[in-house]
Amino acid sequence: MSDKFSTWLSYTYSLNDYKFETFTPSVFPNNVDVRHSVSLAFNYEIFKDFKMSFGGIWRSGQPYTKPVEGDETVQNGNSTQVNYDTPNKENLDDFMRLDASISYDFNFSKKIMSTLRVGVLNVFNRKNTIN
């Protein structure tokens, strides 16, 4: 039975901060700081030449900087500038996706082999904000 399936699980913790001595605050999360990320996959051979796979990912949302609520812009002469709040203080919603696929191997002869793969990305049609 164990030769019919394989699986893996991965977790990553990543702390990725900017440090600028002249800024206030001097340390804040990098734009691509994803603190937690979990990936998993499951593959199963239903019968010879026919396989199915599932894979998923969940990760914490990336940081971003919002304008100051109620005072989003500042007039500076003839130009209008965005009035940003504390750098990367907010985070996007967590990202999550589940994918599935099946594959079938066609062996027409010893020299002619082919594989048909069909997959569905984002099985649950979850809406994710990336940036």
pLDDT tens digits, 90-117: 999 999 999 999 999 998 888 999 999 9
CB 20 within 8 A of CB 32: no
**Residues forming a β-bridge with 69:** none
Residue type for position 23: F
pTM of structure = 0.77
Q: Report how far residue 111's alpha carbon sits from residue 120's, in angstroms, rounded to the nearest whole number.
A: 30
Q: Where are the domains of the chain?
A: 2-63+91-120
pLDDT tens digits, 34-83: 999 999 999 999 998 999 999 999 999 999 999 999 999 999 899 999 99
The pair of structure tokens assigned to 69 is: 């609520």
